Structure 1
């Protein structure tokens, strides 16, 4: 789908959404609560508005957090601080009022169609015991051409630059797709004896070696030549945006691909939203709307980064085969010697299957066994590795223990 055609569709729908927004308040008037027809009309308007795709980053909504454990635990205020702003990302610091001395952790968020706010729950949990920073990736359609290219090399460089800003002794946590550039960044810094190389490296549900137990996502990436992805998925940003003419993999196309994998589930969710609103089940409806507000906030990905990731990670398995290059240098995970390594996988992950992340242990052959650990979480899929009850109760304590015990 051409980006210009999509933009024309959005413009065409704008008046309808304007009128729906205008009708929302009067339709919700308690005076209509006893009228079944009005409740149905109001529910229809809400479902229509909930289906809106946006290109703006949602709010992290983290205003405070419980710090500490047991009787000494207390609620502390959290303030977002831009520790560093670069063209393609902001190093965002979640500062806790009055709390110092906790391990500094850089969370590398995936750049795969959604904003870093997708990790809101991950951040909130980590904030209990850590000083948390995150790579808050910018929407590529808002980055002017003058900022230059952004490929896999640049992504890896951003991770290294942000670690240097945090300073020596920081910990690195990568979730999903960024596991490859995060491991590459740590390996290069170790080879260069960079004092800011991470003290620990946690890789969660990431495609270190996609040859292992390939999923439908992996099979799609290998089923077509690289040129097919460039021809069919890459578009130029329309002139009205700051990144006009930048070549991107549009977020709305990525969203379409995600939804097509579980289309029936999404259709049932919207049917359920409608019935919950009609029945007055407002709490259930709120959870559904909150999920899709986040899910439908999409981020355009720079074409170079997307195509290089498809080629080097999913088609050539470059890191796993010792062939990944960073600015002309071969990436050597064996250069890591004193960085503690933890890998985490989900039993039912249909995006990054069992074994793909654990493969990092063989690549990091110089890390002593006592600094390596692996956890396979039973009963969770991809998102359950970093969000939900099992993340909070079973996975996070392992991540915390590894960070606090890292030498």
Structure 2
């Protein structure tokens, strides 16, 4: 019922948005005098804001067409190099990279948004690396015949992707995937997998949410797992390929994020309205571009979501040494030659300070010179991997870490 009610509302709002868009175009038509005086510009701007807010959205494109390196611009080639039902492995490459350029796997969160949320992350790292990205699928678009997808499968996918890319690959996990990426590195380290990561950079990840809990952590702890199963899990309607699949809908995830900072979002939309009235198209376009990405959401499978809530936020299975993959306990001490870089934002309201740094303490058999902690001052959660501070301060630190720790330069602790 929940999903069907949302689909009905989405259809109604989509129609209203279409009419509002038509109205805004009419009022701003140069041939009509009403657009130049009185309430014409105000009405047109109000309709435009409503149309943009209510319009339905699908999966965005990465759209990285070129990258500039040392003053030279190179065209970027995007390709799918590994196809799996619940996610593809994308590769971004350009002719400006040297033949020995490091290979970097960027692990995108499976948390309601598409991997395109990391467009700025990938674009910046393309300056020095051959970039691969985990492009997770929208669960409602995956046929039920593809089976289930849970936390074990997520780890298996990462191992498979690393095996596809080859030895010496570096990994950059943004937020939520820090946990499964750390687990994958431990599993591969234990079995001496030849394609285990050379480095693993974790950014704003919930390795141990007992450290500086945020409001997100509090919500996960306040209710039993059964509450989440009964209140936020829905069944995909018949109109989608994944009909009948149990999912945590993206629209609920988005509603939660919007509610956390409702005042800021309202101010942003009021500013958008003012920009449109004043004719400041550049500022208006920037706000619209942000919300186009922010409101583009996808579903995740119920199995993956509930297991993440249970093991990451409620039981703290990884830091307690109780995290299990395919029946085998994950041993963080098995990470012996994968250099770890933990990055946190000083103003992160999603993953508190210390939650990601905890990974460095768990890898007890990793030499100290293969561990590093970086606190990004004045940076919030989103700013860790996007924006000017990411490009000018954080990305260079990641690049330096990658240069320092190729596979052959790491010491193995017996």
TM-score tier, shorter chain, comes to over 0.9
- C-alpha displacement of 1:127: 0.5
Given candidates 39, 42, 45, the residue that maps to 2:44 is 42
RMSD over equivalenced CA pairs, Å:
1.3
Query: Which residue does the alignment assign to 2:412?
Result: none
Equivalent runs, 1:60-79 vs 2, <5 Å: 60-67=62-69, 69=70, 73-79=71-77
Query: Which residue does the alignment assign to 1:279?
Result: 278
* C-alpha distance in structure 1 between counterparts of 2:24 and 2:293, whole Å: 20
Query: Which residue does the alignment assign to 1:87?
Result: 85
Query: Which residue does the alignment assign to 2:355?
Result: 356
Secondary structure of residue in 1 paired with 2:58: coil
* C-alpha distance in structure 1 between counterparts of 2:17 and 2:268, whole Å: 21
Distance 1:79 1:26, change over 3 A: farther
- C-alpha displacement of 1:98: 5.3
Q: In 1, are the aligned partners of 2:25 and 2:44 still within 8 Å (CA)?
A: no
* C-alpha distance in structure 2 between counterparts of 1:394 and 1:360, whole Å: 22
* C-alpha distance in structure 1 between counterparts of 2:357 and 2:321, whole Å: 16
* C-alpha distance in structure 1 between counterparts of 2:216 and 2:13, whole Å: 32
TM-score (norm 1): 0.96
* C-alpha distance in structure 1 between counterparts of 2:193 and 2:357, whole Å: 25
- Per-residue Cα deviation, 1:237-258 (whole angstroms, up to 9, x for no partner): 0100011011111011101000
- C-alpha displacement of 1:282: 1.1
Secondary structure of residue in 1 paired with 2:317: coil
Structure 1 residue runs of 5 or longer lacking an equivalent are: none
* C-alpha distance in structure 2 between counterparts of 1:55 and 1:180, whole Å: 29
* C-alpha distance in structure 1 between counterparts of 2:120 and 2:215, whole Å: 27
- Per-residue Cα deviation, 1:193-235 (whole angstroms, up to 9, x for no partner): 1100001110111000011111111111010000000110000
Q: In 2, are the aligned partners of 1:27 and 1:38 still within 8 Å (CA)?
A: yes
Aligned length: 403
Distance 1:172 1:355, change over 3 A: same
1:162 aligns with 2:145: no
Equivalent runs, 1:50-199 vs 2, <5 Å: 50-52=52-54, 54=56, 56-67=58-69, 69=70, 73-97=71-95, 99=97, 100-199=99-198
- C-alpha displacement of 1:181: 0.1
* C-alpha distance in structure 2 between counterparts of 1:330 and 1:278, whole Å: 59
Structure 2 residue runs of 5 or longer lacking an equivalent are: 410-414
* C-alpha distance in structure 2 between counterparts of 1:115 and 1:45, whole Å: 28
- Per-residue Cα deviation, 1:160-196 (whole angstroms, up to 9, x for no partner): 1000000001111101000000000011001111100
* C-alpha distance in structure 2 between counterparts of 1:280 and 1:403, whole Å: 45
- Per-residue Cα deviation, 1:19-61 (whole angstroms, up to 9, x for no partner): 2344444333234552342212221221112113645211112
